[in-house]
Structure 1
Amino acid sequence: MAKQISDLKLGVLGGGQLGRMLIQEAINYNLTTLILDPDTNAPCKHIANYFECGSITDFDTVYNFGKKADIITIEIEKVNIEALEQLEKEGKQVYPQSRVIRLIQDKGVQKQFFKENNIPTAPFQLVNTREDIRNSSFAFPYMLKQRRDGYDGKGVMKINHAGDIEKAFDAPCLIEELVDFEKEIAVIVARNPKGQMTTFPMVEMEFNPEANLVEFLISPSTYPEAIQLRAETIAKNIASSLNITGLLAVEMFITRNGDILVNELAPRPHNSGHHTIEGNYVSQFEQHLRAIFNLPLGDTRSINNAVMINLLGEKGHEGVAKYQGLEKIMAVEGVYVHLYGKKYTKPFRKMGHITVVDQNREGAIEKAKYIKETLKVIA
């Protein structure tokens, strides 16, 4: 008799907020969760069945941790691929597969994958040094992105003119044409080993220009159905080309002339899907579990209008976190609070998120604006 989901151990590389929300969903299935994270105070520490403090980039640590689990997944891409490859050879199930993580770890390889598979994306050029950037024929202004280890706006800079190159990264990067976009959007697609695929409805994102982090996420989108269908089709095509098992977040731009260009991929639960906990029939976290355990995928439809606000540490504050205005925003109807269990705050650190659900889209947006002005993470 095949083992039931509750008989299996799920190992997660990374113990941050994504792992925390995944565990919160896993509890509903009586799943045993094992977490590996280098932070002794990781958000997952007190709710995982087993927590190990150790490096997720060290071969031996990842390999020995992985041997304790039946299925291994990630909540961050910066992990030791060689250890995951060895675990796969020994029969462990690793989802997303190590080859997918390897491709997505390197933004340059990711862009080449787009090009080879006719996935629409902005023109780009790969460079290795600051001198290569200086010799590039790309027209100013353009975006410069480090090929590895960039996240949450880090490792990305705009090059406006030749003088900016002196401050540019002196490391393998990609130069990308600056996209004149109307809106940044995202589609999360789930795929199980049987090849069943579902997409969550397309969402729209508003960014904090200083932190280069999502400030508001609005679901569902009000773009024409044809545009939404095209974005969902692109996401499904990428998931099929990768033959991925699990979730894949596909971040895209809608340009001023109506084109859709793929920006980046994340092979895991993602910031652009947090609203699904209250806003959709199935959450991204439950869907990820369904996918990696080869279960039928859930109903991704929106239940209501949902706006998600990232709760970031305030500028000028570093230390033990305090949440100013929490009671005020909790008095607002349709507000759901998610704090990530991080003891210490610092400027722009993701400390939690708030989701507003409302039958009226504009009403939800107005409430979100009020929350942004009222709720502050200080020290």
Structure 2
Amino acid sequence: MKAFYGDLRLGILGGGQLGRMLIQQAINYNVTVKVLDPDRDAPCRKLCDEFVTGSLSDYETVYNFGKKVDLLTIEIEKVNVDALEQLEREGVVVYPQPRVIRLIQDKGLQKQFFKENEIPTAEFQIISNAKDLEQAQIPFPYIQKLRRDGYDGKGVYKVVDQSYLENAFTEPSLIERWVDFEKEIAVIVARNEKGDIETFPMVEMEFNPEANLVEFLISPSTLSFEVQQEAATIAKKIAESLRIVGLLAVEMFLDKSGKILVNELAPRPHNSGHQTIEGNVVSQFEQHLRAIFNQPLGNTESLSNAIMINVLGEQGHEGPAVYQGIEKVLNCPGVYVHLYGKALTKPFRKMGHVTIVDVDREKAIEKARYVQNTLKVVS
């Protein structure tokens, strides 16, 4: 492969905020970046060397885009894997590998992978249609998830009792036992082509109950050393079993009995790693680049307590974005604002994130709650 800092052309499928932050790191490495996204005003548009408007699910569009780069990566899983497999056969390097993306696109295949590789996960059942739900072997309440295209809480439905079946998904899905969890946790793991593996410290997450989006994340965790070690071991086992090259976010539950259960995977930089930009020696974005370029993986240690808050569009507001309270939060020491370059806001749209770092954990939490209550995206 060409030297990443020279003539190598890196292609990114997806031009959203993850791609934007990946490019911000790639600039430091002198990497030439080309982006494909269906939105002509995507956040990456003004940062990359070349921007192509086109569908990520169309075979010809993805194939033709990929033929003009040396290495192809993703910032979203919903891409045409058939095109990626053909590009791989023709010598284009694709990381994460198309076979990994294909598996993770389908939550049913994900669950079967967990079962086959003895990865702890909630009991589940594959559902083909609505009739299968009537013969479900998992007791109420349970969670129904569409096998494909669900993200950020979409494609997820809680079935409490028989009366809820009327509004259940009729498309291919899976149902899984409702987990009475103590904490939602995540570990991001990176693996390069040489097989080197590094994990970031485990994080704890709080979700917005209405949008089912990560709203508040704290790193490093204060849960027991044993829990953190077990979570890291599980993440490494998954990365090794997949033989993935790149970054993998492993979302997990810690249930009331202290057992860790894997929920879902994301083969790319992830919302649960944004705090690493200021909070860790190496960020998740730099680590992803190091992994796909087959370079030594970076030191993932935490530098300080770091809290990440997603900045979501306010309910009742749709139109040109106005950031109320931004001057007030910028007046706080240790507060870092990241705006995603999205001109228009709408309810619960991810418009940015804020990281708060402080050597005093309680002060960091206090400042984070202040930012949550002060910074609002309206129209």
What TM-score, normalized by structure 1, do the two folds share? Answer: 0.99
What letter matches 2:265 in structure 1?
L
Deviations 1:149-192 (A, max 9, x none): 00000000111111111111110010010001000000000000
Which residue does the alignment assign to 2:187? 187
Deviations 1:294-338 (A, max 9, x none): 000000000000000000000011111110000011111100000
Q: Distance in 2 between matches of 1:15 and 1:4?
A: 20
What letter matches 1:209 in structure 2?
P
Q: 1:209-228, aligned counterparts within 5 Å? A: 209-228=209-228
- Tell me if 1:36 matches 2:18: no
Which residue does the alignment assign to 1:98? 98
Q: Which runs of 5+ in 1 are unaligned?
A: none
Q: Distance in 2 between matches of 1:262 and 1:353?
A: 25
Aligned partners of 1:6 and 1:29 also within 8 Å: no
- Tell me if 1:232 matches 2:232: yes
What letter matches 2:105 in structure 1?
Q
Which residue does the alignment assign to 2:133? 133
What letter matches 2:92 in structure 1?
K
**Residues 360/160 of structure 1: CA separation in 2 closer, same or farther (3 Å cut):** same
**Aligned-pair distance for 1:4?**
4.5
Aligned partners of 1:108 and 1:173 also within 8 Å: yes
Deviations 1:99-144 (A, max 9, x none): 0000000000000000000000000000011121122132111101
Which residue does the alignment assign to 1:76? 76
Which residue does the alignment assign to 1:336? 336
Deviations 1:75-94 (A, max 9, x none): 00000000000000001100
Aligned partners of 1:309 and 1:353 also within 8 Å: yes
**Aligned-pair distance for 1:226?**
1.0
Alignment partner of 2:111: what SS? helix
Q: Distance in 1 between matches of 2:51 and 2:356?
A: 32
**Aligned-pair distance for 1:6?**
2.9
Which residue does the alignment assign to 1:61? 61
- Tell me if 1:350 matches 2:359: no
What letter matches 2:156 in structure 1?
V
Aligned partners of 1:357 and 1:364 also within 8 Å: yes
Q: Distance in 1 between matches of 2:272 and 2:253?
A: 14
Q: Distance in 2 between matches of 1:6 and 1:267?
A: 26
Deviations 1:42-90 (A, max 9, x none): 0000111000000010000000000111110000000000000000000
Q: How many residues align?
A: 379
Which residue does the alignment assign to 1:120? 120
Q: Distance in 2 between matches of 1:378 and 1:351?
A: 11
Deviations 1:249-280 (A, max 9, x none): 00000011110000000000000000000000
Which residue does the alignment assign to 1:172? 172
Aligned partners of 1:191 and 1:239 also within 8 Å: yes
Deviations 1:6-28 (A, max 9, x none): 32111000000000000000000
Which residue does the alignment assign to 1:255? 255
Which residue does the alignment assign to 2:110? 110
Q: Distance in 1 between matches of 2:218 and 2:97?
A: 30
How big is the alpha-carbon RMSD for the aligned residues of Structure 1 and Structure 2?
Answer: 0.9
Which residue does the alignment assign to 1:142? 142
Aligned partners of 1:15 and 1:37 also within 8 Å: yes
Which residue does the alignment assign to 1:300? 300
What letter matches 1:295 in structure 2?
Q
Q: Distance in 1 between matches of 2:134 and 2:77?
A: 30
What letter matches 1:223 in structure 2?
L
Q: Distance in 2 between matches of 1:228 and 1:296?
A: 24
**Aligned-pair distance for 1:292?**
0.1
Q: Distance in 2 between matches of 1:2 and 1:324?
A: 46
Q: Distance in 1 between matches of 2:195 and 2:247?
A: 12
Aligned partners of 2:153 and 2:211 also within 8 Å: yes
Q: Distance in 2 between matches of 1:245 and 1:137?
A: 37
- Tell me if 1:207 matches 2:207: yes
Which residue does the alignment assign to 1:154? 154
Q: Distance in 1 between matches of 2:96 and 2:182?
A: 31
Which residue does the alignment assign to 1:360? 360
Which residue does the alignment assign to 1:272? 272
Alignment partner of 2:6: what SS? helix
Aligned partners of 1:10 and 1:34 also within 8 Å: yes
**Aligned-pair distance for 1:3?**
3.2
What TM-score, normalized by structure 2, do the two folds share? Answer: 0.99
Alignment partner of 1:6: what SS? coil
What letter matches 1:263 in structure 2?
N
- Tell me if 1:283 matches 2:283: yes
**Aligned-pair distance for 1:2?**
5.4
Q: Distance in 1 between matches of 2:367 and 2:26?
A: 30
